[in-house]
Chain A
Amino acid sequence: MAFVVEITNRSGGVLERHRIEGEAFTVGRGFDNHIIVSDPYVDVHHCVIEQVEDAAAGTWRVRVLPGATPPQLDGRRLEDETGRVVSGSHLILGRTQLRIYAPDHPVEPVLLFDRIEQLFVSLATPAGVFWSVTAFAALLLGDLWLRSWHELEASSIIQELFGSFGLSIGWAAFWAVVARISRGEPRFFHHWSVAAMAVAINIVGEFLIDVIAFNTASVETRDVLSKLLTGLCLAFALTLNLRFSLRQSVVARHAWAQGFAWAVVGYGILTSMQFEAFFSGAPEYDGTVMPELWRVASAVPAEAFVEDNAALFEFPQEDEDEEEEDEKEKDKDKDKEGDE
C-alpha cells in the first residue's frame, strides 16, 4: 500500500511530490511527521491519513489530531469528525495545499508539443549554447551582408550584433525574472533561444516576402504579409515564453499570447489605414528588384502594359459629388428662406 502526496500552490502548480509506503501517514510541522510542511499555520502534529478497515482500496480517511485546527477537505471544513478521502482529494492545512493520490491514479498522456521543451533543454547545455549563439550571430551577419551593397565595416557589424543580442537578452531577462518569481526557476537560456528563434523566423520571413512581393509586384501583398509575419513571430515568442515562465492552462496561454500578438498587428493595421487617408506627394509602389532567376511571374509585351495601365487614369470623383450635395443643401436653404 502506498500514497502519492503533492504539495501545490494555490493555482494547483506542484511544488513537491512525495511517495509514501505504508498504511497511514502523518502531516505536520514536526520533524517526526511523514510529510513535513514549513507553514506557521500548521500544527506540529496536524492530522493522520489512514486506511479505513474493510473499505475498498484507494479509500482513506483524515483524522484530525487533538488540538489541531480543523483542515478543509474537498471544499468542506472538517469540524470534529473524520473525513473520507479518495484518490485526488484536496486537503488544505493552514495555508498549505495537499493532494492525495493512489499510486494507480490515472496520469495525463504526454502532450505532443511537450517535445518542444526537450529541444530547449538540449539547447541550454554548454554545447547547445555555443552553437545557438554562433548560429544566431551568423544569421544576423549573413542578413546584414546580403542587405548591403558596400564593404561591411566593423562599426556596422558591431552595431548589428549589439542591437540584436541586446534586444534578445533584454527580452529573455524580463521573462527569466517572471519565471523566477512565478516558478522558482528563471530558465534564462530557454527564453533567449525563443527570442533568437523569433528574430530568425523574421529574417527568413522577410526574405520570402521580398521574393513574393517581387513576383506579385504589389504593395498591398507586402503590407499584409509583413503584418502576418510580425504577428507570427510575436505569437511564437510569447507562447513559448509564457510556457516556460508561468503555469497556466494551454487555453489561457494561447489566449494571452495570440491575443497580444494579433492586437499589436491590429494596431499596426489601424494606424496604416489612418495614414492611407492622408495626402502623400510621393508615389507608393513596390520597388523590389531580384535576380531574374527568382521571377516566377510572367512578363507582358510593352503594348499590353500601356493598355493595362488605362485604369491608372481613372480617379474616383468624390469631390464633385460633395459639391453637388453642397449645392442641394444650398438649394434647400434657399427654399427655406423662400418659405419664410
Chain B
Amino acid sequence: MGLQVLKSAFPSRGFPAYHRRFVPHHGQGPGYTLKLRAQLLQLVLIFGFSSSVQAAAPSEAQALFDQAASSVYQILIIEAESGNKSAIGSGFQIAGTDLIVTNFHVISGALHKPEKYHIEYLDSTGGRDRSELVDFDVIHDLAVIRRRKDAPAGGIAIAAGEVQKGESVFALGNPFDLGQTIVPGTFNGLLERSFYQKLLFSGSLNPGMSGGPSLNQVGELIGVNVATSGNQISFLVPAKYVTALLDKAALRTESLKAERYQGELEEQLHADQAYKFALLLKLDWPTQKLGEMQVAGEVSAYFKCWGNTSDDKEQLYRLTESSCTSEDTIFLSDTLQTGAIDYQYGWATSTELGSLRFHRLLTDSYARMFTRNPAGEDDVSNYQCRTDFVQATDDPDRVNRTVQCVRQYKEYPKLFDVLFLSVMLGGDKRSLSSHFALSGVSRENAEAFTRKFMSLRTRGS
C-alpha cells in the first residue's frame, strides 16, 4: 500500500510519497534489500474524481460547503527569498477559537528551517497573514497554528458521537491550489491493524487537501485529511486526537518557540517509541515454521507478513522468504520518515550447488541491506556496524554470522536506526537468514528487541 501525503510541494521536488510494501530484490539473487519505491504521482494520474461517489446527495454537499467553507483555510509555506509558496496544504478553524488545525507534514518545512520558510494562511475571503505554531502532535501528524487577528465567528465543531461505517463523509480542502473543494465519500471504519489509528475514507483526497477537515452530514469534524494511496483509498486522522491536541495546547501559555520545537519533537518521538516497544516486547511472539526452523510470525496485529518462494526451474537453489512490516511511519520531514519496524526471514536450500558455491550465494544475497528510511546527511550519521559469530540460543553449536548496524539521528541523539542481519552456518546447504530494521528507536528498546528476536529462531520440531 503506497501512501501519498497530501501536501502540494514545489513541483520540481515532487510530492513526498513513500511506498510501504517490502519488495524482494531479485536483480542479483535473493536478498533482503528493502527498496524504497519513490512513486512520484503524476498530476494527470491522480487528478479527477470518480463519478460513482458523486451520486451522494449533491444538495447536501452544497449545504455543507456553504456552512463550512468560511472556516477552511489554505496553509502556505512561504520561501523567504523568493516570497513564493514552496508547499501548500489546508487547515480549518476550531469553533469558538482563533486556532487553525492542519497536518504536521504541511508545515514541517517551516518548523525545521524557520530562517528559510514561514507559515501563512489564506482565508475564504482572500485575507492572508503570517501565522505561528501553537502546538503539534507529530505522531498523529497534527499541528495547531494561530490566526493572529479578527477571527471570524463560526468555525468547525468536533463531532461527539461515533461515526457508523457507510455514513457519508465530506472532505474539504484545496487540492493543487485549484480552490476550495468538497469531496463526498464514505466512512469505512478504523484501521485496526495500525499503531496509529486512522480512519479509512473511501473518497478521493489529493495533494493540497492535507490538513483539511472531513465532516459528517451535520457539518461536525470527524477527522483530518492526511494521506491517500489512490483509487479512493484515503486516510483521516480521527477527531479525538484533535481534541487531545487542543487540550494540550490550551495548557500552553505561549506559542512554541523555534528553539523549543526540536526538544518537544524529540520528547514526542521518544514517548511514542517507548509506548510502541513496551507493547511489542510484552507480547508473546507467535512463531511459525519456515523450512526446518521456527521463526516469528505476525507478532501483533500491527504487522503484516508476506511470503514468497522462488521456483524458477533453472535456479540451482530454493529460497522461501517471509517478510513482515508494520504499516506505521511518522513523517518528520521530506527526507526523514521514521517509526517503521520490519523483519524478514529467508530459508535457502540447494542440492545442486556445492558447499562453497552455496555459501557464495548467501554472501551475494546478504552483501547489502537498506532501510525504508531514506534519510539524508542532515538527518542521520553514517552507520556503524559490527559483525560477530553468535551462538543460537537453543543450540550453542549452531552458529550465525551476525551483523548489527546503528546510526544516530542528528537532531535527536537518543534515537537510532538499527539494522540486524544474521545468516546461519553449518546447515549442510540449508540456511536460515534473519533480518530486522528498526527506525527511530532508543538504545534500550533496540537491545531488548534484538535479544527477543535472537531468542525466537529455533530449530523446528
A interface residues, Cβ below 8 angstroms from B = 145-151, 214, 217-219, 279-293, 295, 297-303, 305-306, 308-313, 315, 317, 319
* A291-B356, A308-B386, A309-B386 as given contacts; A299 in contact with B391, CB under 8 Å: yes
Please tell me if the beta carbons of B399 and A292 are within 8 angstroms of each other in the complex.
Answer: yes
How far, in Å, is B353 (CB) from chain A's closest CB? 6
Contact of A297 among B29, B367, B389, B426 (CB under 8 A): B389
Please tell me if the beta carbons of B388 and A146 are within 8 angstroms of each other in the complex.
Answer: no
* A295-B389, A306-B451 as given contacts; A313 in contact with B367, CB under 8 Å: no
Chain A residues contacting B396 (CB-CB under 8 Å) are: 299, 301
Interface of A is mostly: loop
* A279-B377, A305-B390 as given contacts; A289 in contact with B369, CB under 8 Å: no
Does chain A have a CB within 8 A of B54?
A: no
How far, in Å, is A250 (CB) from chain B's closest CB? 41
Please tell me if the beta carbons of B405 and A283 are within 8 angstroms of each other in the complex.
Answer: yes
* A300-B390, A303-B451 as given contacts; A289 in contact with B385, CB under 8 Å: no
Contact sample, A vs B, 22 pairs, CB 8 Å cutoff: A146-B357, A149-B316, A149-B360, A150-B316, A151-B316, A281-B370, A281-B380, A282-B369, A283-B419, A289-B423, A291-B425, A292-B425, A299-B391, A299-B399, A301-B391, A302-B391, A306-B450, A308-B388, A310-B443, A310-B447, A312-B406, A315-B408
Please tell me if the beta carbons of B404 and A309 are within 8 angstroms of each other in the complex.
Answer: yes
Closest B residue, CB atoms, query A147: B360
Please tell me if the beta carbons of B366 and A287 are within 8 angstroms of each other in the complex.
Answer: yes
Chain B residues contacting A285 (CB-CB under 8 Å) are: 385, 387, 403, 405
* A302-B390, A302-B391 as given contacts; A279 in contact with B385, CB under 8 Å: no
Please tell me if the beta carbons of A315 and B384 are within 8 angstroms of each other in the complex.
Answer: yes
* A295-B399, A300-B390 as given contacts; A150 in contact with B315, CB under 8 Å: yes
Please tell me if the beta carbons of A217 and B401 are within 8 angstroms of each other in the complex.
Answer: yes
Produce 1/0 per residue, B109-152, CB < 8 A to A: 00000000000000000000000000000000000000000000
Chain B residues contacting A292 (CB-CB under 8 Å) are: 399, 425-426
* A150-B314, A291-B356, A291-B425 as given contacts; A312 in contact with B386, CB under 8 Å: yes
Does chain A have a CB within 8 A of B345?
A: no
State which residues 269-326 of B face A: CB under 8 Å.
314-317
* A281-B374, A285-B403, A289-B425 as given contacts; A149 in contact with B388, CB under 8 Å: no
* A150-B314, A291-B355, A305-B402 as given contacts; A218 in contact with B393, CB under 8 Å: no
Complex alpha-carbon distance, A214 and B403, angstroms: 12
* A302-B455, A306-B447 as given contacts; A313 in contact with B416, CB under 8 Å: yes
Chain B residues contacting A280 (CB-CB under 8 Å) are: 382-383
Does chain A have a CB within 8 A of B166?
A: no
Does chain A have a CB within 8 A of B26?
A: no
Complex alpha-carbon distance, A145 and B455, angstroms: 37
Complex alpha-carbon distance, A291 and B357, angstroms: 10
Does chain A have a CB within 8 A of B248?
A: no
How far, in Å, is A235 (CB) from chain B's closest CB? 29
Closest B residue, CB atoms, query A315: B408
State which residues 332-381 of B face A: CB under 8 Å.
350, 353, 355-364, 366-370, 374-377, 380-381
Please tell me if the beta carbons of B385 and A283 are within 8 angstroms of each other in the complex.
Answer: yes
Does chain A have a CB within 8 A of B14?
A: no
Does chain A have a CB within 8 A of B410?
A: yes
How far, in Å, is A330 (CB) from chain B's closest CB? 15
Chain B residues contacting A297 (CB-CB under 8 Å) are: 389
Does chain A have a CB within 8 A of B413?
A: yes
Report the 3 A-B pairs with minimum CB-CB distance, sorted nearest first: A292-B426, A283-B383, A217-B387
Chain B residues contacting A302 (CB-CB under 8 Å) are: 390-393, 451, 454-455
Please tell me if the beta carbons of B356 and A146 are within 8 angstroms of each other in the complex.
Answer: yes
